[in-house]
Structure 1
Amino acid sequence: MNPRLQLRRYANRENRKLKAYERKYAKVIYSILDKQLEEAIRNIQHGAMFLDYDMYDRLSDLYREVGVDLANDQYDALTSFHTKASNFFLNQWLEFMTNYILANMGLRVSRINETTRKKIQETIAIGNNLGMTIEKISSFLRQRIGTFNRYRATMIARTEIAEAANVAKEKSSQDWEQETGENVYKMWIHRYAKEPRLFHHEQDNGKAIPKSEYFLVRNPKTGLLDEMMRPHDPNVGGEQNINCSCVAVYVSEGYARRVNATK
């Protein structure tokens, strides 16, 4: 089979899977954001407080589910769909994602919830400046934050699912590399977006590069090139990562040679 056609079929299957996860978890996240809003309204006289644990728990579920699933798909793709990953690897990836959650989820959730708190506090301040009563401020919060939450739930789901997928696929490629002793290459896949980052779309050029090399990605804010090991590289800023759904695909050296030779 033509290697580019093979890649496109794989990318299309993965895209359908990621879209399904985005729909699933956007609903879950919206429910949490709505619950946080109602909790903040109940505590409006005490600083509009709400707790973080619901978001932490559900995003942890997301990382475990998406991570193990996408790690498995990536491993199978590296073996040209002929060999399934053993239970050893499935258990190892679950353990890896659990450790990733323990190391990173607190900060990720804290940032998400801090944005929610700032938006709520900003809305309360507007209401106070307009001389609104507590009841009217509550109604104003439901209107203003409720609309904001619908868009934001989708953005959070897209960002976190792509992060989970990229972290897990990188780990899966490492395991395949160690298991086979073969070199791994990588390709950047730009997924569809209503407002695509053209500087990410440029990376989806059908060429594979060695896994150890950087993708050189334009940064429109600085005018410089960001060195990224993969989409959602934690060493670059939010301009490259927030609301990004791009993923890396890892391929064998033999496949890389074939695809790079294809015009």
Structure 2
Amino acid sequence: MNPKLQLRRYARAEDRKLKAYEKKYAKAILRVLNHQLDEAIRNLESGAIFLDVTMNDVLSNLYKEVGVDLANSQYDALTSFKTKANEFFLNTWLDFMTNYILSSMAGRVTGINDTTRKKIQETIAIGFNLGLETEQIAQFLRERVGQFNVYRSIMIARTEIAEAANIAKDRSSEDWERETGENLYKVWIHRYAKEPRTFHEEQDNGKAIPKSDKFQVRNPKTGGIDEMSRPHDPAGGAIQNVQCSCCVVYVSESYARRLNSAK
């Protein structure tokens, strides 16, 4: 089979899987955001307080489920489906994702919840400036922040699922290299978006580069180049990563040669 066609089939299958996860977790995240809004309204007079814990629980489940699944599918793809990742690898990837959650989740949750608090506090301030009573402010919050939550739940799910997928695939590729001693290559896959980043579409050129190399990603804000190991590399910053759903695919050296020479 033509390697470019094979890569596109793999990318489409993965896209379907990630969309299903996005749909599932957008609903779960929306429930959390709306629960936080209800909690803030109940505590309106004491400063619209809500806790971070429920968002942390949902995102932790997301990283464990998506991370292990995508690590597994990447590993299996590297074997050309001749063998499957065994229980040792599945447990290793779950441990890896759990450690990632423990080390990184608090900051990610805090950032998400701080944005929610800012929106709620901004809306309350507008309500007071308009001379609204407490019940009217509560209704104003439900209308203004409730609608904002729908959009945000989709954005958060898309960003966090892509992050989980990319770090998990990176880990499974490392395990593959240690097991086989082979050097891997990588391909940037741009997934569909209503407002696509053209500077990410440029990376999806059907060419594989050595895993140790960096993708040279244009930064429209600075006019310069961001060197990124993969989509969602922290080195790219917010402009490259927030609401990005691009994914990396790791391939063998022999497959990379075929891919790069294909027309």
Q: TM-score range by the shorter chain?
A: over 0.9
CA RMSD of aligned residues (A): 0.5
Count residues with an aligned counterpart: 263
Question: What TM-score do you get using the length of structure 2 for normalisation?
Answer: 0.99
**Structure-1 residue corresponding to 2:257:** 257
**Structure-1 residue corresponding to 2:26:** 26
**Structure-2 residue corresponding to 1:4:** 4
**Partner amino acid for 1:162?**
A
**Inter-partner Cα distance in structure 2 for 1:219 and 1:121:** 33
Could you list the runs of 4 or more consecutive aligned residues of structure 1 that deviate by over 3 angstroms after TM superposition? none
**Inter-partner Cα distance in structure 1 for 2:6 and 2:14:** 12
Preserved CA contact (<8 Å) 2:4 2:262: yes
Deviations 1:89-141 (A, max 9, x none): 00000000000000000000000000000000000000011110000000000
Instruction: List gaps (5 residues or longer) in structure 2.
Output: none
Q: How does 1:106-255 map to 2 (within 5 A)?
A: 106-255=106-255
**Partner amino acid for 2:102?**
L
- 1:8 deviates by 0.8
Partner SS state of residue 108, structure 2: helix
Deviations 1:142-182 (A, max 9, x none): 00000000000000000000000000000000000000000
**Structure-1 residue corresponding to 2:62:** 62
- 1:237 deviates by 1.2
- 1:236 deviates by 2.2
Partner SS state of residue 235, structure 1: helix
Question: What TM-score do you get using the length of structure 1 for normalisation?
Answer: 0.99
Instruction: List gaps (5 residues or longer) in structure 1.
Output: none
**Structure-2 residue corresponding to 1:15:** 15
